[in-house]
Amino acid sequence: MTRRSTEAGRLGRLLCDYLDTAGLFHGPLNDRGVLVLALAGAATMFLVQPPADCWMFAWLAPLPWLAIVQADRLSAAHPWRSLWVGGFCHWLATIHWLRLPHPATSIGWVALSVYLACYLPLFVAIARRLVHGWRWPLVAAAPVAWMACEQLRGSVLGGFTFGGLGHTQWRWTTLIQVADCLGAVGVGGVVMAVASGLAEIVAVVVSRERVRAAVLSGLAAVVVLVAAVGYGRWRIQGEPRPAGPTLDVLLVQGSIDTELKHDPAAAGDVARHYDELTMAALGMGEGVGSEPGSSAVSSAGSAVHEAGTSRPDLIVWPETMWRWGLLEIDPDEVLPESVVEQTLAGRDATGTAADRQAECRRVLEQERLTLLAAFARRYGTHWLVGLDKQVVTPQAPSGARNYNCGLFLDPEGVVMACYSKQHPVMFGEYIPLAERFPWLYRLTPLPAGLTAGTTPLAVTIAGSRVAVNICYETALPEAVRSLVRELASQGGRPDVIVNLTNDGWFWGSSELDMHLTAAIFRAVEVRTPLVIAANTGFSASIDGSGRLLARGPRRATATLRTRVRPDGRTSPWLTWGSLPLGACVAVAAVALLSGWSRRGRLQTR
């Protein structure tokens, strides 16, 4: 035996002794053991998410955390504190990209990690109560506890859904079809069930006890996986055959890194950048990218080549890539006379003061549309462009309301409709209570906040109903479900959802991957194709089964030409939404309350 192998054996024995004293192999689990397992799970669960993206190991990643659930007894004095530390480390690494937009967002990065970390001790507490208090098998308890926690995380404080366990499996198209019943959270439940079965088998290998229970748990995990895959195969076989009209869409992806500083001179550069990409795609009839030969750009180019030199039915620019925002002025707003005089100078604007006010409002509003109309006429087709809109009104404490919008124009440059984002991001796009107390914005790098829109919107283009949402709205399952249901109730279920996104804030980081993955699951849940125009990426085309048909490059320019076919299928998710996941939350709540002793301490053994 060599000296190196002797030293390796000694290190191995020391490690085993350390883990044994921590209670990992025998006896109650002490503080050291809980902390070791919490941090190990933090690492493995991070590695299955982007940027490492070791997605195939997601079925094993929860094992360290499940070991804490399995432990017969916790002798640790502060187990929940150790678990919170593990959760904090996990989320701090997973959402590291939140520090990139501005130095001030590092505060939000840490604060959000502090909050999200609470879900790990909550998961363990629920699962332990179900296993040791209610005598549920781990293969049932862990998925229920996990789905309850992920559902809460996706709902409380506006919801944060990135980094879900089910999201790791987006490439397995057959498996993720179950999302049209239980959402992305349900796919995570399937992964957790399989991991629980494996955890029981690992426990048997270590302890040589409860062999029969472990075999049954393993079989149950196999049944869950086979059922999910079988359901997925059935749903894929039921895909509609290609028939009827398709929508020919040109997605324009520029690459402009975005910062929280507002340079008015940059508006022209941004418009020129996107216009050049658009005109090149229209003029040459092929995709244009800054990474020639990449698979993403090549796939886009092939679609364009098939379409020839014909105009697409719809051109899409990403969120806020037209920097000269729209203006609306409330008729109740009295404009200063100096503004009226300057605006109407050289015009025949006689009449009463009210007439002059009305004419001034019309001129100021039309000025913002004139250049947009000229671009639309030059493109010669329908155009959906992301921009801001300011509504000047005395009803707002600050004197104005700001909206993040998607504007549809027809080939003649006439406005068809304008959608206002319904779900602004808390602390990213607005500060709570700041509409009533505008001075709160002086404490942040935001110059002003967004007002939420109130209604979804769809327009008919080339025989297809086209709905739109903006940025993070694709990460909110209930928001997309509500969009489809409300439009369907109005007699026009959308054939495609177009998402406008500006991910230039995140400098090509793993946020782009997480954002795209969320969109894939939304397409499956509502059985509606979804296309994305994203600044810096990832622009994409996704069908109603969650297949990624085309994708732009990371932090580079591209144009993607894609034909969108309506899906038309309904889904259980559209009918009942998160009701089954709410049942998991209810079970978790009852389990926790039933485990609370008279002294106010949670009894999880």
Residues 319 and 501: their CA atoms lie apart, in Å, by 5
Instruction: Write a three-state SS string for 69-101.
Output: HHCCCECCCCHHHHHHHHHHHHHHHHCHHHHCC
Beta-bridge mates of residue 253: 558
Cβ count within 10 A of residue 30? 20
The b/e string for 352-379 (b: 16+ C-beta within 10 A; e otherwise) is eeeebbebbbeebeeebbeebbebbbeb
- Amino acid at site 171: R
Q: Give yes or no for residue 8 having a pLDDT over 60.
A: no
Q: How far apart are CA 69 and CA 62, in angstroms?
A: 11
Per-residue pLDDT tens over the stretch 166-205: 999 999 999 999 999 999 999 999 999 999 999 999 988 8
- CB 464: neighbour CB atoms within 10 A? 23
Per DSSP, 363 falls in state: H
pLDDT in tens, 478-507: 999 999 999 999 988 999 999 999 999 999
Residue 422's pLDDT is 96
Task: Record the tokens describing residue 152, joined without a space.
Answer: 């809460």
Banded pLDDT at 289 (limits 50, 70, 90): very low
The pLDDT tens digits of the residues spanning 206-239 come to: 766 778 888 899 999 999 999 999 999 999 999 9
Residue 105 has pLDDT above 80, yes or no: yes
Mean pLDDT, rounded, for 38-63: 97
Q: Which pairs with CB-CB distance under 8 Å and at least 24 residues apart come from 167-170? A: 167/49, 167/514, 167/517, 167/518, 167/521, 168/48, 168/49, 168/55, 168/58, 169/55, 169/58, 170/517, 170/520, 170/521, 170/546, 170/548
In angstroms, how far is the first alpha carbon of the chain from the final one? 45
More confident residue, 200 or 303: 200
Amino acid 245: pLDDT: 81
Structure token pair of residue 183: 């959402």
Average pLDDT, the chain: 88
Mean pLDDT of 440-451: 71
Whether the CB-CB separation of 530 and 519 falls below 8 Å is answered with yes
What residue ranges in 146-269 does DSSP mark as E strands? 247-253
Q: What CATH code would you report for 247-256+273-568?
A: 3.60.110.10
Tens-digit pLDDT profile for residues 375-414: 999 999 999 999 999 999 999 888 899 999 999 999 999 9
pLDDT in tens, 142-157: 999 999 999 999 999 8
Quick one: pLDDT at residue 259? 74
Q: Report the C-alpha gap between 172 and 180 in whole angstroms.
A: 15
C-alpha 299/C-alpha 468 separation (Å) is 24
Give pLDDT, residue 305: 35
pLDDT recorded at residue 460: 96
CB burial of 262-283 (b: ≥16 within 10 Å; e: otherwise) equals eeeeeeeebbebbbebbebbbe
In this prediction, residue 347 carries a pLDDT of 81
Q: What percent of the chain has pLDDT over 70?
A: 86
Question: DSSP letter string over 518-548?
Answer: HHHHHHHHHT--EEEEEETS--EEE-TT--E
Q: What are the E-state strand segments in 110-228? A: none
pLDDT at 190: 98
Q: Which of 2-6, 316-320, 342-346, 428-432 has the lowest mean pLDDT?
A: 2-6
> If you ran DSSP here, which 8-state letter would residue 386 be given?
E
The residue ranges of every structural domain in the chain are 3-238+579-594, 247-256+273-568
Ranges 180-189, 295-304, 306-315: which has the least confidence: 295-304
Range of lowest pLDDT (126-140, 431-445, 521-535): 431-445
Q: How far apart are CA 149 and CA 146, in angstroms?
A: 5
Tell me the average pLDDT across 275-279: 96
Whether the Cβ atoms of residue 468 and residue 406 lie closer than 8 Å to each other: yes
Tokens matching residue 517: 């993955």
3-state secondary structure of 455: coil
pLDDT on residue 102:
85
Give the list of residues 6+ apart from residue 372 with CB closer than 8 angstroms, or none: 322, 385, 407, 409, 413
* Residue 411 token pair: 């080939």
Note the pLDDT of residue 442. 67
Q: What is the mean pLDDT of the segment spanning 83-102?
A: 96
Question: What is the pLDDT at residue 215?
Answer: 87
Instruction: For residue 303, name the pLDDT band (cuts at 50, 70, 90).
Output: very low
Q: Is the four-CA dihedral 323, 329, 330, 336 of positive or negative sign?
A: positive
Average pLDDT over residues 296-313: 51
| C-alpha distances out from residue 356 to 129, 205, 326, Å | 71, 86, 21
Inform me whether the pLDDT recorded for 547 exceeds 60: yes
Given a cut of 80, is residue 561 above it in pLDDT? yes
pLDDT for the residue 441: 62
What pLDDT score does 286 carry? 41
Is the model's pLDDT at 17 over the cut of 60? Answer: no
* Confidence band of 7 (pLDDT split at 50, 70, 90): low
- pLDDT above 90 coverage of the chain, percent: 71
The answer to which of 121-130, 153-162, 242-251 has the lowest mean pLDDT is: 242-251
CA separation, residue 571 to residues 47, 48, 170, 191 (Å): 32, 29, 18, 21
